[in-house]
Amino acid sequence: MKTDICIVGCGCSGLYAALQLPKNKKILMITKSDAESSDSFLAQGGICILKNEADYQSYFKDTMKAGHYENDPESVEIMIRSSQDVIHDLIKYGTDFHKDKDGKLDYTREGAHSHARILFHEDETGKEITKHLLEKVRALPNVTLLEYTTMLDIVEANNTCYGIIMRKADGTIETVSCDYVLLATGGVGGVYRHSTNFRHLTGDGIAVAIRHHITLKNINYVQIHPTTFYSPNEKDRSFLISESVRGEGALLYDKNMQRFTNELLPRDLLTEKIREQMKKDGTNHVWEDLRPIGHEQLMSHFPHIVQHCLEMGYDPEKEPIPVVPAQHYFMGGIKVNKQSKTSMDHLYAIGETACNGVHGKNRLASNSLLESLVFAKRAAKEIASAYEMLHNPMVFAHIQEADYTNMASLKQTYRHMVQAEVMV
């Protein structure tokens, strides 16, 4: 198979990248399961936005502090400064964020945030965003989306990616030749016994990177979410009890129904507190009380969480629910630059499988969707610029003037020109 660009994965980062890439280029997207079974659909809490300039320093500090100051400051700044542009795109694509009584965008607050700066749609923000992106991508005539198709490997020579090898839904194995590959393969939760992730998300991008000696970063930085619904008979993924629940006033209790910690601590610190309390009490979970949120807010903001609790035999308006930490997010991954390029030419990584340094050692709540979208767009724009440069007469004039003795020299000069163009 021959295409121009191949995107492996169809979560929010892969879909958004496809929408930003040139419409005259053929794009192949593949996903291991059905198109709706990506973790992007599972994101509950919301997506951060820089509300105004006065909020910048606070937002920046909150992100750095949550990441234990191991974040890349430049990447954090890029994400925050790009947030309004991304949100504008999402609204244009049809995303319906919650509005206040005056019809203006409403905000919620989550753990480790100094202020309310998170846009949301009930408790299914990820689904609301991603379903509209998927709808727009399905309508693009230049995009082919293959479901139940697995990337087995990439095609590589001289540290340049030339395509992928995939196994299709009917079991046939096929080689895809293309100009660029974008890895949007998601996280690693499928290798954990207790995780909020889909089971088929098993770090395929990381495996390929290891096989081909592509640079990785912080692959031991795995985030445990402090609150998932505790079920002793859990067979599938853990059901997330959103950070926003605590942001709106939910409390945590020990076995004696006494508060034991600050519910708005960063996720890693709160997880430590919960585990300490479980060990002290000799229990398999702690209790989370949603009653302080109030009936109206609970029903309008968290209807699906309430419904799940009822299905599990707990009425959150009358009693606390059992919660326990579980694997949730991968802060490390394939090391990429500010345009999401990996250490291999013509290979990009976006979304949870990539590590651009935004999250540091611990991700701040609701930065995941935003980070994925911001750097997916930057990858798409660099690739688009590269294609534009191919048709730029100045490039060919420059090439003709130079004395190139090998293709590597030519590629290096061309790459520098593309990067200079992108920065301009």
Catalytic residue among 109, 237, 267, 363: 267
Name residue 106's amino acid: D
By the 8 A CB rule, do 39 and 189 touch? yes
Burial class (CB in 10 A: 0-12, 13-18, 19+), 34: exposed
Torsional class of 99: left (φ above 0), alpha (ψ -120 to 50), beta (otherwise) = beta
The alpha carbon of residue 382 and the mean position of all alpha carbons in its chain are separated, in whole angstroms, by 20
The alpha carbon of residue 240 and the mean position of all alpha carbons in its chain are separated, in whole angstroms, by 16
Among 147, 104, 141, CA closest to 10: 147
**Residue 267: active-site member:** yes
Walk across the sheet containing 160-167 and list its strands. 150-157, 160-167, 173-177
Residue with tokens 């196994």: 167
Residue 145 tokens read as: 């989306």
The pairs formed by 168-173 with CB atoms below 8 angstroms and a separation of 24 or more are: none
Residue 102: CB atoms within 10 A of its CB come to: 6
Contacting residues for 352 by C-beta, under 8 A, at least 6 apart: 11, 13, 39, 186, 187, 329, 330, 333, 368, 372
- Give the span between the Cα atoms of 136 and 19, in whole angstroms: 8
Q: Where are the beta strands (DSSP E) in 158-274?
A: 160-167, 173-177, 180-183, 216-217, 222-229, 251-253
Among 44, 47, 43, 38, CA closest to 8: 38
| Active-site residue set | 267
